Each structure stands twice: as C-alpha cells, then as structure tokens.
Amino acid sequence: MDILQQIVADKYREVAFKKQLIPVSQLEQSVLFQRETFSLVKNLKNSTTGIIAEHKRRSPSKHMINDSLNVFDVAKGYEKAGVCGMSVLTDAKYFGGSLDDLLLARASCNLPLLRKEFIIDSYQIIEAKAYGADVILLIAAILTQAEIKTFSELAQSLNLEVLLEVHNEEELQKSIMPSLDLLGVNNRNLKTFEVSLETSMTLSFLIPNEFIKVSESGISSTGAIQVLKPYGFKGFLIGENFMRSENPGDSAAHFIKALAE
C-alpha cells in the first residue's frame, strides 16, 4: 500500500466513526453553516500575486515542519500579509491538523479558507461548511468521476467553491466538469513525494480557460512564481516555505513584497 492508499483507508474508518458521533443534522445547525462564504476565485482574479498560504504542522514527506505556532496567529499574520486565501490542513494523523484549526482560523480572519483534507464522503463537505470553510479540495487521484461530480455539486449547492487537484493528464481528463471552480496542479507526486514544477507547466496547456489555475506544492521562491505565471497560473499554494519560519505571516509578507517589486 502506498502512503496515499494508507491515508484514504484511514480516512474511511475515521469518517464512518464520526458519522455516528455527530450526525449531519447536527452539523447543519452550526451557526457557521448558515454564513455567507468568502470567494477565493474573486480574490485570485483581483490579485497580481495570487498567494494561498497554508497552515501545515507536519507532512508525510517532511515529517515535522513547525509545531510551535498557533493557528489563530498564523491566520492573522497571513491576512495582514495580504494573501488571497488560507489553506488549513484538517487531517490529524498525517498532518497534525484538526477541524478546530479550521474553526480558529475562521475566528481569526476574513480570508477565504480552504479545507485541505482527503475528502471521500459528502459528510466531510457538510463538516467543512459547519467549521467555517469557503472552499473544499477534491483530489482526483482518490476519487472516481462520479464522486467528483456528486461532491462538487453538493459543495456548489452549499456555496462552497471547489478546488480540484490533479497530478497527471489522466486525472485531469476524467475530472473536467462545470461544477469545479479552480483547477490545481499538485507539483508533488503524492505517492513518491517527488516534486517538480514541470508538472504545472506541462498540464497548464490542457486546463480549459474557464477554470482558475492553481499551482500547488514545492514553491519555495518568488522565482518559481515568475516562471509559472506565463503558463496562466493565478494561484500559488505555499505551505512549508512559510511554515518553516518562526513567523509565517511575516514570511508571507516579505514574499509578497518581493513579488510585487
């Protein structure tokens, strides 16, 4: 079993258990479930820098990144830095995240929040809305075409935007459908952890123009963004590069200032 298969197997067990603990009807009663969401698409369209900054404590590829920060301050710092949106990892076992992280980020800032999760069940989409997310991630590598359609249409009906993530042409071809808002190319192979910006460049030509293109992972310099922009990317998802610093907000602010110069 590769790491992605392991994560997904654990996720099925986790979600089955949670469904018994907290029924959907209870999630739908959350005050946050009724709120108006923020648009990441709108922010990216109006931005010249396009940074989506991530809260990421650890990962299967890098193990520990930064365990000494609190998500409330990180979210405030990212908002002050002028990022377009924030990604919050909510997986506990492999990334050290939680739904409480999402809730705290929501309490701390008015940025569009992406729930970064391995979504395999509609329940997690309802949960995302109930805990303050504006955008959900769907990973083509772990979903069938029918699941992508069902999950993205559910998200749309809840006014959540959908970022569909692909890593190769086959995943892209099976996924393109009108219920998606953003198409993300993950530069990291989630099975081997190899990272290459070439993945974004190659797939960019195959992504229809109606979708906002986002390049994800392994972006560690403003130079990388200058390289990717001509390929039509409007969004750049950055985790480790900011989270490695003592103050991710300051790190994002310096990055954005350097990009704008």
Ligand X SMILES: O=C(O)c1ccccc1NCC(=O)[C@H](O)[C@H](O)COP(=O)(O)O
**Quick one: which segment of 125-133, 147-155, 184-192, 224-232 binds ligand X (CB under 6 A)?**
184-192
Please say whether the beta carbons of 55 and 101 come within 8 A.
yes
| Binders of ligand X in range 209-228 (CB under 6 A) | 216-219
Q: What is the DSSP letter of 72?
A: H
Please say whether the beta carbons of 115 and 131 come within 8 A.
yes
Is 34 or 196 the residue whose CB approaches ligand X more closely?
A: 196
Q: Which of 40, 162, 190, 197 binds ligand X (CB under 6 A)?
A: 190
Contact status: 101 vs ligand X (CB under 6 A): no
- The β-bridge relationship of strands 113-116 and 85-89 is parallel
Contact status: 117 vs ligand X (CB under 6 A): no
Q: Which of 10, 19, 47, 60 binds ligand X (CB under 6 A)?
A: 60
Rounded least distance, CB 64 to ligand X, Å: 12
Contact status: 232 vs ligand X (CB under 6 A): no
Please say whether the beta carbons of 66 and 243 come within 8 A.
yes
Q: Strands, E, within 140-217: which ranges?
A: 161-166, 182-186, 212-216
Q: Which of 237, 252, 253, 256 binds ligand X (CB under 6 A)?
A: 237
Rounded least distance, CB 220 to ligand X, Å: 7
Please say whether the beta carbons of 40 and 52 come within 8 A.
yes
Please say whether the beta carbons of 127 and 15 come within 8 A.
no
For Cα atoms 234, 237, 242, give the angle at the middle one, nearest 5 degrees: 130
With a CB cutoff of 8 Å and minimum separation 6, the contacts of 51 are: 81, 82, 83, 84, 236, 238, 252, 255, 256, 259
Rounded least distance, CB 190 to ligand X, Å: 4
Q: Which of 43, 59, 66, 90 binds ligand X (CB under 6 A)?
A: 59
- Active site residue ranges: 54, 56, 116, 165, 186, 216-217
Q: Which of 134, 161, 171, 240 binds ligand X (CB under 6 A)?
A: 240
How many chain residues bind ligand X (CB under 6 A)?
20
Torsion of CA 134, 222, 238, 59, to 10 degrees: 180
Is 27 or 56 the residue whose CB approaches ligand X more closely?
A: 56
Contacting residues toward ligand X, per CB under 6 A: 3, 54, 56, 59-62, 186, 188, 190, 193, 216-219, 237-241
